[in-house]
Amino acid sequence: MTMNMHRRQWLRMLGLACVPHAPTYLARQVHEDLLAVTEPDALPAMDWGDLIRMLEDWGPSPWYCSVTGRHGDLDTMLADCRHAVEQHQRALGATPTTALVVVRGNGAAFRLADFVEIHTAISSAANASTELWFGAAHDPALVEALRVTVVMDAST
C-alpha cells in the first residue's frame, strides 16, 4: 500500500500548520523525509504524535544531516553522516536526547544489510544515552540510490 497524494498533501499541511514549532526551517527534502516515516508503508510507520513530540522537543531549529548516494557509495555516505553527528555532539557540548534516522530509497533497492550497516554507523556515532529512532520509506525518485537523513537536538 502506498500513500496517495491527497493524504501526503494533508500531512504536509498538518506538518506546517499544527506543530507548535512548524518545521518550515527544515530543508523541504528533510521535512518530506520526516513526514514519509508516518506513511502506512514506512518501516516501521512512526506515529504522528511521536513525530510531533520530537519536533516540539527539538525546538525551532533542530540540527540535521542528509546525504544521498548510490548503493555502492554507502560507506562514504555513512562516514559523512558519522563525522557530522560526532562533530555536532562536540559542538553542542552535551548529549542530544533524541535522534531520528530516516532512510529513503526505491523499495526494490532496499537491502537488509544496508539497514544494519546504517544502524550500526549512526548508533556508534551517537552518544549511548541518545534515544535513536529509525524509519525507512519508499521514494520512487531515488532510483538506484539511498538517502540517509539524521535529525536531532540543536541545543540543550
Give exposure, 113-139, as e/b (b: 16+ Cβ within 10 Å). ebbeebeebbeebbeeebebbbbbbbb
For residue 112, the model assigns a pLDDT of: 82
Residue whose C-alpha cell reads 522537543 in the numeric block: 57
Q: Where are the domains of the chain?
A: 5-152
DSSP three-state, residue 136: strand
> Is residue 155 within 8 Å of residue 92, measured between CB atoms?
yes
* Gap between the Cα atoms of 45 and 47, Å rounded: 7
Closest CA to 81 of 67, 98, 99: 67
Residue 59 confidence (pLDDT): 79
| pLDDT in the model for residue 28 | 80
**Tens-place pLDDT, residues 21-47:** 444 556 888 888 988 898 888 888 888
Q: What does the pLDDT read at residue 4? A: 55
pLDDT recorded at residue 142? 86
- Name residues of the chain where pLDDT drops below 70: 1-26, 107-109, 155-156
Specify the CATH superfamily of domain 5-152: Tubulin/FtsZ, C-terminal domain (3.30.1330.20)
